[in-house]
A and B are shown apart, each in its own frame.
Chain A
Amino acid sequence: MSLAWKGKGLVETAAGALDVDAYVTFESLKANHAWEEEIVKDAAGADAAWVPRNEHIILDVNVKLAADTIAHAKAGGAFLAPYAAVVFSGGDLSFMNATWQYIGGASIDLSDAKHGSKVLKLRKYADSAQNTAAVTAAT
């Protein structure tokens, strides 16, 4: 059931879908902004130039291994290939709806008397040409 509220507008859901994991249930999303920094000092040793290279966003996607059937729930419990392209759609924030690069660091957690879960770590470069290259197979 959708929830309607009054007053200020909110962003409060971890809505979204991954083309590679069609049967998982989203639980939470965390996006972090990052770049590689080069700082050049002046003659006195003080920071004088700041160069941001490879600006990108890292998106942690936390999902439950919960689906319409047990088989589909199990289908979500698999790892991706290194640097696989992952298409994210349906997110509340538009920057999320893009093709991301899987960068490893995924984990699958199973325990007694608790639903299984998975964490995926994805990267998207700020430069669109760079991001396209990052998700396109070499020829």
Chain B
Amino acid sequence: MDTKTLSRKELIQLYHDCKTQAEKDALYWASPELQGIFSAGNHGPKPADEAGAPLAGGTPALPGN
């Protein structure tokens, strides 16, 4: 699969051209560069990481010793 690194200009264009807010949120939280350009306040909450995310309302369990 061909991959291409987007320039800052292309990344911003892609962000602005998202059709829905959900698309925009997903792109934003996937891109540290976008997070340094646009405020998190424009977006929905950050999705929990797939692994190692704390359970809602709780503290992540530490490995036993």
Contact = CB atoms under 8 A, between A and B. Distances in A.
A67 to B, nearest CB: 10
17 contacts: A19-B8, A20-B37, A20-B38, A22-B13, A72-B16, A75-B16, A79-B41, A79-B42, A80-B37, A80-B38, A81-B36, A81-B37, A81-B38, A81-B39, A84-B38, A85-B36, A85-B37
Interface string B25-59: 00000000001111111100000000000000000
Interface of B: 8-9, 12-13, 16, 19, 35-42
A119 to B, nearest CB: 15
A131 to B, nearest CB: 17
A72 B41 CA distance: 19
Interface string A22-35: 11000000000000
A81 B12 CA distance: 13
A78 interface: yes
B37 A78 contact: no
A134 to B, nearest CB: 13
A137 interface: yes
Nearest to B9: A19
Contacts of B13: 22
A84 B35 CA distance: 9
A78 B12 contact: no
Given A22-B13, A22-B16, A23-B16, A81 B40 contact: yes
A22 B11 CA distance: 12
A66 to B, nearest CB: 15
A56 to B, nearest CB: 21
Nearest to B13: A22
Interface in A40-72: 71-72
Contacts of A79: 38-39, 41-42
Nearest to A18: B12
A78 B35 CA distance: 13
A1 to B, nearest CB: 27
